[in-house]
Amino acid sequence: MPLYETRLKEHVDEVVRSSVEETLNALLEAEADRICRAQCYARSAERVDTRAGHYGGSRRKRAR
């Protein structure tokens, strides 16, 4: 295969991979928004769940 065909194939592969990754990330973000009833970092009275890794509990824990 000539060099230009190899480079073209690599470029197309990267474009397709990037497009699929962006699409999947957008779908996952939309699903998380729907489940949490809020966008990432948004605050609302109706919000049931939290996002971005918040855990309930005491904040007075110490390292041993």
What is the per-residue pLDDT across 1-16, written as a single tens digit (0 to 9) for each? 789 999 999 999 999 9
Rg (CA), the chain: 21
The tokens of 25 are what? Answer: 């990330």
The tokens of 24 are what? Answer: 């999947």
Overall number of domains in the chain = 1
pTM above 0.85, yes or no: no
Asked if the structure places residue 1 within a domain, the reply is yes
DSSP state of 54: -
Asked if the structure places residue 64 within a domain, the reply is no
Asked if the structure places residue 54 within a domain, the reply is no
Where in the sequence is the domain holding 35, given as residue range(s)?
A: 1-48
Give the separation between CA 24 and CA 52, rounded to whole angstroms.
18
Question: Nearest to residue 48, comparing CAs of 34, 62, 28, 27?
Answer: 34
Predicted confidence at residue 34, as pLDDT, reads 87
First to last CA, the chain: 61
Asked if the structure places residue 55 within a domain, the reply is no
